[in-house]
Amino acid sequence: MRLIKIFLFFLIIIFFLPFFSVSCANNPQDKGINFNGIEMATGKDHELPFNMGNMKEHWKPRHLFVFVLIISPVILLILSFLANKNKNKLLYNYCKYIFFIMPVFNIFAVFIVRHAFKTAVLKEIRAYIDSDITSVLKFDIKSGFILYIIFNAVVFGFAVINYFIDSPSPVQPESSSRQAS
């Protein structure tokens, strides 16, 4: 359970790493704009990721569903401290099942966030430009996205190992000597 706590702590830190980058596909010098979890959830003013002459507009794409990516590891971390095997056996048993479900949910959620955030960015930019710009923008996945998936997979793996280590041994059949008497 200690290793799970460590990886959950890192998942919270990973939320502050860049998840995505938006840049202009036609401009190789454009390094793009990086977005970490907080910036995706609350929004951050950025200049448009491409040069439109003298026009320097600011945009603030955001999607509140991104907070799920940090709320889930925080809840799991708190539960891992509360669910001590000796103190609260019922909570400990429930936590074993929760640790199975939440990392899988987080992996699906990060892909949903990717799609929703890309949609939010396109919607925000379309407010400034009338034409379809989907072919001009390039969305890149950054280290935070990849690490988030990897660390959730590791937490899931430790949850599986922890479940099978802590599960009771199967019931042994009665011995043949008892049956004979």
The answer, yes or no, to whether residue 49 has pLDDT greater than 90, is no
Assigned domain for 158 exists: yes
The answer, yes or no, to whether residue 20 has pLDDT greater than 60, is yes
* Rounded distance between C-alpha atoms, residue 138 and residue 149, angstroms: 21
More confident residue, 67 or 30: 67
More confident residue, 109 or 58: 109
- At 168 the pLDDT is 57
Assigned domain for 172 exists: no
Query: Domain of 151: which CATH number?
Result: 1.20.140
Assigned domain for 176 exists: no
Residue-wise pLDDT for 61-93, tens only, equals 667 778 888 898 998 888 888 876 667 777 777
- At 151 the pLDDT is 93
> Domain total for the chain?
1
Return mean pLDDT, the chain: 76
Across the range 129-148, mean pLDDT stands at 78
Assigned domain for 171 exists: no
Assigned domain for 177 exists: no
Assigned domain for 152 exists: yes
Full domain range(s) for residue 64: 2-166
Provide the phi-psi class of 53: left if phi over 0, else alpha when psi is between -120 and 50, else beta: left
β-strands 18-24, 33-36 pairing? antiparallel
Assigned domain for 26 exists: yes
Assigned domain for 175 exists: no
- At 108 the pLDDT is 93
Across the range 57-63, mean pLDDT stands at 61
